[in-house]
Structure 1
């Protein structure tokens, strides 16, 4: 977890929209203020129905803004002043309605006018009914915001206030504070980072693949795509031209990268081979299917009385083919194992002609698929290896890129430790 020191002196505009989760925004305001941030709260008219502005004023020690036409200081226009001076705009909770308005550039209240006017980064913490969250319109709106460069704090899963069980619960205040601290720590790191990948093309694969059985069923795995997306963002921030080939995930598309959406192993294979010749670094973090159904049924398979036998064929081996075809490329693979980690990873490194492999035991707490952290071992073809402590996937991504640059310059991997 990142130190809360990164929040000291930061000016955060907290947008609170109208949902039952607005009560959590009060605790969030308190925690951000205690960490040294100056918090300016903007409430929508519906948010005021759930929590009184006085609560936020007492916790933030700042005036609370609810009306775009209320201008207490004649020397400034309030929403422009807030937009210009913010280090970060945090919308928590963000309802489906306010997400839709932000995605389409509507500005009909204090919050949306401020968001539209700002050049500050925007962090969004959705909170809503699971069906509203999963609705194609909401998902499309979040993808649009991601293209604008907005970032998201994923909602939790569980029993919602409406009685449904599923994804849509606002992240806990502690989680949001940690995400904000991580954002500022990352920004500080980016500001201090040389663009050491300028002029390089980095090809990254991420997420799972899906192999169709029939129109309603498919074979897949638990990969979330978080590690690959973190690598793509880290490479982008270090000046690289990034191509991200991604299987189906719930993650927003990273801004500033060329995004290629695929579903099956074959689609990912074709996309990777198309861009391989122009790539300098290839990092294959995607968890692809090793096998696929021999027959894809045109119609839904009906349930019978006896057992079902599904015949599988070997799927294309993307990483092995990259290893066979590489010329100038530095190729990195991933080995997600449950036993014999070192032996299995070394075997894969050799068999697939890789320059480096990133090995992790997915059964280890904090290192599994879907986790925001990872615990990995970097293994080089030369035989060197370095074990990294538990850290965020973004931190792992930067360590990995450091290692690639070290080995590319024929320096020792030990310099990472």
Structure 2
């Protein structure tokens, strides 16, 4: 009779919670441990910069599972505990109190950490980052009518928090190092849409701007000085300059690490007993033919099924195209596909870009390599299918709103 296997998941976010669910759903009836360094049960992060931050969603709505799910499914949920090391030879993880937890299979869903700003004044108490529930609570309290908010970074987190602050009636400045916010992610044509959106909503958008220092009064930040000498007054400074995958455990354990924990398409690391999922996984993507690390909710939601099946010895690969979405003011957007900077020839628009109601297609030759819908709903699935098909399309057909996208599918 075979020994019952013990599975351990390190991480307390969506990927960890979903992995526990998938393991139980697909037949693992042995010991299952989830170790998270927060006191919160696993939760999803997008609402922290969207609905929860705006006060439209309550705290319980962000949980991956109801309170009693873990006990009902015999999941040993160890909250507020850190894993300090992995002993691959002994098959154990060491906790912050020196205790050891054995494993037969280990899933690393350790997520990422916000990059810290390294200028004078960056460590002041009201210089805030957004990653955890408590961070969102602090921002919500700071975003009040008339408050002066300076957001450093024009990526998704920066723009979503700026939108939330403006919606609350705050005065908002966004400082972006590049020529346009989201320029590297979306390219000029689509990035201009988001720049115009925020300016129309009263955001003071400063592009091609650098930070010299953060000034203080009474021990709290009261302004941000740009490299051109401009000083922006601030009651709160929000920093959103990217995230760094939490790879220390993997690195110290001797796993292959390269911009995240390297895995194959089954989400197996260089150790067959250890898998990785979510922000931290730099996984080989069969459709794209390369390793990619995706810092978005959809990966944390869907990769755990592949990881769980693989941990159980069942055949599974992760080949879903990257997907992300955003909600800012009255703009809702969905994007699918993968385009590196310089990896496309042009962007074809269907609809009214000036009215922010359109579908955009990133083209490489006559192939659609990515697509985005803005305030146009129920089209992202056919857009994904166009990308997955690898078929060739004329720009005129993609541009014509009278031609249903479904009719273009092979």
Name the structure with the higher helix share: 1
Name the structure with the higher strand share: 2
Higher-Rg structure is 1
